[in-house]
A and B are shown apart, each in its own frame.
Chain A
Amino acid sequence: MTQTILIIGATSSMAEAFALRYAKESAQFFLVARNKDKLDVVSANLTAHGASRVISFVMDGNDSHLLPELLNTIWKTYERIDLALIAYGTLPNQCRAQTDIPYAIAEFRTNAESVIACMAGLAERFALQQMGVIAVIGSVAGDRGRASNYLYGSAKAAIETYAEGLRAHLLRSGVHILTIKPGFVATQMTAELHLPSALTVSPEYVACDIHHAILKRKDVLYTPWFWAIVMWIIRALPAVIFKRMRF
């Protein structure tokens, strides 16, 4: 059966790798991103790789007031959506965010509020069709507030907590919510960081993990897997010790 997939933030590295896996199985897509030129390239690439139909929609995730129009267009184009992935986000500069409050608020809006708006809007529609999976990309950084990036971490914590509640709310509706918590991934967002190469994986690796997590109806996916153990230990550290750590 042809799967119908919605991706918001379709030009992000993880979203592209994810979509490519499904394109090879002739899935059909509804892609949303803010940059039209990039979106056109991603659409053409998915078509070349075997996608049976690709519809694209230009929108900035921050423009939550356009959300009703987006949702109408999606469900006018396709009867149902099997899978939705919310994959956009930014990596705020923590130093700047400490003094530039409007910047910090704008970044939090992008990474938390607008994502929550998407989840809420999608949940309503998914509940009506009584099936499907909504996957959202959080981060291992959402597990604890670290001195080096607590603005990013708190935004991810917000969407993860929201997703957890939504999962419980939709438990009997047939709709599933997947929270994806990647560690270090070599993407556009992290291109300027010096990530430890031994711990860094490719977006394709993450896409493969997400694919399997969806099939298994996992609630929370740590990817790569070892982060589940690492973060279990880090979550267990008492605040007295944790606050003294600098990483």
Chain B
Amino acid sequence: MSQTLSWGRYPHCPQIPHNVFWPEDVPNGLERIAAFQKGVGLAYGQGRSYGDSCLSESGHLLAMAKMNRILFIDWKSGLIFAQAGLTLAELINIALPRGFFPPVTPGTKFITLGGAVANDVHGKNHHVHGTFGCHVKRLILYRSDEGIVECSQSLRKELFEATIGGLGLTGVILAVALQLRRVTSNQIEQRNIRFQCLDEFFDLSQTQDAVHEYTVAWVDCLASGAQTGRGHYMAGNHAKDGALTPAPPGRIGIPFDPPCSLINAISLRIFNTLYYHRQYHKETVRRVCYDPFFYPLDAISQWNRLYGRAGFQQYQCVVPKKDGREIIRAVMKEIAKSGTGSFLAVLKRFGNLPSPGLLSFPLEGVTLALDFPQRAEINLRLFAKLDRLVHDAGGRLYPAKDAHMHATDFKKAYPRWEAVEALRDPKLNSLFWKRVTQ
């Protein structure tokens, strides 16, 4: 049987997936896991969580990818009701020709609806549309103590709120009702603006976020001194007209594990310098297909292998608006000093739309995300410094990306975790949850 890891391939805890085809396979699967290992399981979608939030303690998972059927779509209103294993990629292929698109999409389309709910994912339009959970109308769960349960804003509200961003712990998510948004084209009007320092990024956010639905910035994590925080600000809106055809699938892949990380101090410096200078003009405007705009990394399947066998960790934090500028500057300085980091360092301003989820990550403020090749000592030392900056400012880390957060920091940053623990299905648990709650 093939074994599986999380997206960051760290921690290295190979898991055995058990395929679920129909809702009735869920109780059987959980019983089988209990019998094998006397342990508890966890639902697993496409394994795009970076750290250990998608890994179960027993090493056995319920693989939900085959539960990907659409149960109902109302093409007038754009309300879709589908099994939780449906991916955004499949959803876009069906919905786009009819003029609909996911209301919120993260940086990969290879995630399931269940995973999107469990991590309450966000996208480049957080300042306009909030998180994924804001658009979920209804959830169907399987709980080992209750059987099949339905919840929504009006029905068992406390379970609904605990499940959004609940890391799949409050029951196995079987089906999701999601409100799609209308689009009239598969094109995005994209505006790219080069900025030379962090202050310029914050000024751009101030002016551009108001007129663009989608905004995000790439930063050169190695630039230091006066150039700290230089990068590209990318903004976009759905084009008014154009075709509604989905993007063709064509992808290249990384067919093997390189023995060591291909992303290192030298390759990173070359890439970042070239990428920063890729556009001659300070500002460019063009139309692009939705696929390269939202999902640039999806073009390379299994890009996580670039980091070699040891894997990598992503550090994604959010810092409240009040001290955002200073803290992000301090964080960037620490990272530049360490000389490690990733091609894709992402900076984005979150808006103030609240999510229904109790454990939802976004806060009104600024978020920064960076990948680090897994090197135990360097990461540990750097993350400890960053953690202090972030948590002392009232910020927090993203559980979906995390493999290092300390229990005390987690409990302080997510004070409502006890409400989720109280509603946790006793037959479900993750390595992440064990780590941060004990």
Query: Which single residue of chain A is at the shortest CB-CB distance from B73?
Result: A48
How far is the CB of B195 from the nearest CB of chain A, in Å? 43
Taking a contact as CB atoms under 8 Å apart, the answer to whether A191 and B71 are in contact is no
Taking a contact as CB atoms under 8 Å apart, the answer to whether B1 and A44 are in contact is no
Q: Are A45 and B71 CB-contacts (below 8 A) given A13-B66, A191-B25, A195-B1?
A: yes
Q: Does B72 count as interface, using CB distance less than 8 angstroms?
A: yes
Q: Does B46 count as interface, using CB distance less than 8 angstroms?
A: no
Q: Which of B1-55 contact A (CB under 8 A)?
A: 1-2, 18-19, 21-22, 25
Residue of B1, B69, B70, B94 ringed by the most chain A CB atoms within 10 A: B69
Q: Are A48 and B1 CB-contacts (below 8 A) given A13-B66, A186-B19?
A: no
- In whole angstroms, what is the CA distance A38 to B2 when docked? 28
Taking a contact as CB atoms under 8 Å apart, the answer to whether A44 and B71 are in contact is yes
Taking a contact as CB atoms under 8 Å apart, the answer to whether A197 and B25 are in contact is no
How far is the CB of B71 from the nearest CB of chain A, in Å? 5
Taking a contact as CB atoms under 8 Å apart, the answer to whether B2 and A188 are in contact is no
How far is the CB of A200 from the nearest CB of chain B, in Å? 8
Q: Which of A18-46 contact B (CB under 8 A)?
A: 38, 41-42, 44-45
Q: Does A49 count as interface, using CB distance less than 8 angstroms?
A: yes
Taking a contact as CB atoms under 8 Å apart, the answer to whether A194 and B69 are in contact is no
Total number of B residues with any Cβ neighbor in A under 8 Å: 14
Taking a contact as CB atoms under 8 Å apart, the answer to whether B69 and A191 are in contact is no
Taking a contact as CB atoms under 8 Å apart, the answer to whether A41 and B1 are in contact is no
Taking a contact as CB atoms under 8 Å apart, the answer to whether B70 and A49 are in contact is yes
Which residues of chain B come closer than 8 Å to A44, judged between CB atoms?
69-72
Choose from A38, A48, A188, A197 the contact partner of B70 (Cβ within 8 Å).
Answer: A48
How far is the CB of B86 from the nearest CB of chain A, in Å? 10
- In whole angstroms, what is the CA distance A41 to B69 when docked? 7
Choose from A50, A188, A194 the contact partner of B21 (Cβ within 8 Å).
Answer: A188
Task: Sort A-B residue pairs by CB-CB distance and give the 10 closest, nearest first.
Answer: A197-B2, A48-B70, A45-B69, A188-B21, A45-B70, A48-B73, A191-B19, A44-B71, A194-B1, A41-B69
6 residue pairs A–B, Cβ–Cβ below 8 Å: A13-B66, A44-B70, A44-B72, A45-B69, A191-B25, A195-B1
Interface set of A (CB-CB < 8 Å, partner B): 13, 38, 41-42, 44-45, 48-50, 186, 188, 191, 194-195, 197, 200
